[in-house]
Amino acid sequence: MKVAIRNSRGERIVAAVERPENPVCGRLAFVQHGLSGHKGQVMVRRPAEAFLDNGFTVVTFDSRHSFGESDGSLEFATLSSFVEDLKTVVDWAAGEDFFGEPFALSGHSLGGGSVLRFAEEYPERVSLLVPVAAMVGGKYFIRSRLLNEHDSYRKWQREGRLYRENKNHPELNGWLSFDVVRDMLRYNLVRDAGSIRCPTLLITGDRDPSSTVYNNEKLFERLQCAKRLTILKECGHLYENGQNAGDLYRTVRDWVKENV
C-alpha cells in the first residue's frame, strides 16, 4: 500500500506499507533511506525484507529533498529534515490499524543518523534499532571526509555546494549545499547514545569512507544497551554488489530473529 502523507506545512511525503506473509501482532518497523536516496534502494530494501521475513509490518518512505516521490529539492536536505520526516511518518502511522509501540527503526547513512536521533530522544518508543552506515554527527563526518576525500570536502566548504555524482545511477546526481554539514554539526549522536535503551545493531563496511569503522566503534563504546557491531568485509557505503547486499540482509535478518 502506498500513501501520500502531508506534513504540517502541506509538503508531501510518500510512504509504502508492506505486510508480511505471516504477520506477528505488534511487530512494526520503519526504514529510512540516506542522503540523495529513495525508498527503493538496496540499503533500504534488504533491511526491510529482513524485517518482513521476521513477521514485521514495514513502512518505508521517501524523505523530502531527495530523489524519491516526495516533495523538495536535494539542496535543502539535512539531518534535521530527515528527523522531522521520520516523526511525521510515525505520527501518521499512529492512526493506522497496523500501528503499535514500541517499534523497530532502521536507516541508512543520513537515515541512520535520523533513527539514532529518534531513539535517543524517545527511547521508550523503540524496540529494536538498526543503523546502517550511519552518520553520527558533524565532527565525525568532517573527520571522515578530511581523511578520505580531503580535496573535494575543502572545495565543498569553500564554494558552498558540491555536485554529487553517482556513476552507476546518474538519476541520483545533484547539488548538495554545505548546509547539510552545518546542520550536522548540531548533532553529536555518539555523545548522546547512552540514552538508547533498546537492542541495537550497528552495521558498516570496512571500506566505507563516510561511516567509518572508527565512527561506529566510538558509537558502540557509548551505547549502554544490548548491542552488536558488524563490520562487513570488502564493503563500501552503498551495498550495491550482490555479496554486500546479501550480507546486509542476512546480518539484519538473523539479529532481528535473535532479539524479538
Residues 205 and 236: beta-carbon distance below 8 Å: yes
Q: Please check whether residue 109 is in contact with residue 134, taking contact to mean a CB–CB distance below 8 angstroms.
A: yes
Domain 2-136+189-259 listed as CATH 3.30.420.40 = no
At a CB cut-off of 8 Å and minimum separation 6, what does 168 contact? 240
Element holding 2 (H helix, E strand): strand 2-6
pLDDT at 232: 98
Half-sphere exposure (CA, 13 Å, Cβ side) for 217?
6
Q: Where are the beta strands (DSSP E) in 121-173?
A: 126-132, 161-164
Q: Please give the share of the chain, as a percent, with pLDDT higher than 70.
A: 97
d(CA 197, CA 97): 26
pLDDT at 243: 96
Nearest-angstrom CA–CA distance, 202 and 248: 11
Give the phi and the psi of residue 107 in degrees, each rounded to 5: -160, 150
Quick check: 143 pLDDT over 70?
Answer: yes
d(CA 90, CA 253): 23
Residue 256 confidence (pLDDT): 99
pLDDT score for 1: 93
| Reported confidence tier of residue 240, pLDDT bands at 50, 70, 90 | confident
Q: Where are the domains of the chain?
A: 2-136+189-259
Q: Which has more confidence, 240 or 76?
A: 76
Burial of 46 (0-12, 13-18, 19+ CB in 10 A): buried
Q: What is the pLDDT of residues 163-219, one digit of tens each?
A: 876 666 666 678 999 999 999 999 999 999 999 999 999 999 999 999 999 999 999
In this structure, the chain runs to a length of 260
pLDDT tens-digit readout, 23-49: 998 999 999 999 999 999 999 999 999
